[in-house]
Structure 1
Amino acid sequence: MKKNAIIYIDDTHAQVTKAFEKQARIFGTPEYREWRAYRQDFPSAQMVTKTIKKNTSKRTYKNLTYANMERFLNVQANGKELIKEFNDQKAIAAIQQNPYRAVLAWFLTKFPKYDEYKAFFADNSEAETASEKETVDFPLAANQ
């Protein structure tokens, strides 16, 4: 478990975790008392939380679930053969420490242009959502 702590940067800034910052704003908590003691030594100090740099070019496979892989394989010309191969890969990968990663690696090797498939999944998801919205009927309230 990570301990909430204050890291001295300079006399006007102190680096803290987000959890510490949140708890330090609540009267009577241990973090509040610790921050108050810190402010006695450095009256003009302000809390600064560390920000993590995010890699914007990182490829993510958030929407590439087994179900979406199977949906994609079904619409291919040789869909039945691909589904059989997909199920074989899932069975083989079951003994792996992370079976999903093994199946994902197979899928990306088989279909290297994944970025084009993102649009396929996004378009289908939006179409399904739109069609679901169109078919939902809300009963009218009796008072109206």
Structure 2
Amino acid sequence: MKNTYKIDFVNNTLTMSKAFEEALNNPNSEEYKLFLQLRADFPGLTIIRKTRRAPKKARPNKNLTYKHMEQYMSVFKNADELLAQFDAVKRCSLAQNNPYKFVLDWFKTQFPKYKEQPDFGNNAPKVIDLAAFQKKQEEKKAQNEQLEKKDA
């Protein structure tokens, strides 16, 4: 069996998989013989059962690239206006610590239901005032800095 056990001589541990552990129930198996030999050679060997890795955390913005944002905006009736505003937001973001986050925050504010099917009716999203959005971001940043100073 491949990759069913691992020996760490520095920490004096044997890490075994479930398959290796089950094979130890058969006294005629190679795993059982290996295990007995290891126990004889290393009496203080600590045995650890390998566990499954925790599932990876979901990344909600995984595929939300600038290109995908532009594709989403291009389906609306006022797509030209939205894309012009998007370009302005991207240019403004270059002065930020994290340009992508700045653009992402604008996009999520502009399109709070972007994960749902867009409404192609007369309810085209209204363009958010960029100056007001920037001011709100700066106020948020200032509040965070004040909180950090209080904590320090």
Query: TM-score, normalised on structure 2?
Result: 0.47
Return the index of the structure with the highest Cα Rg.
2
Q: Which protein has the bigger helix share? A: 1
TM-score, scaled to structure 1: 0.49
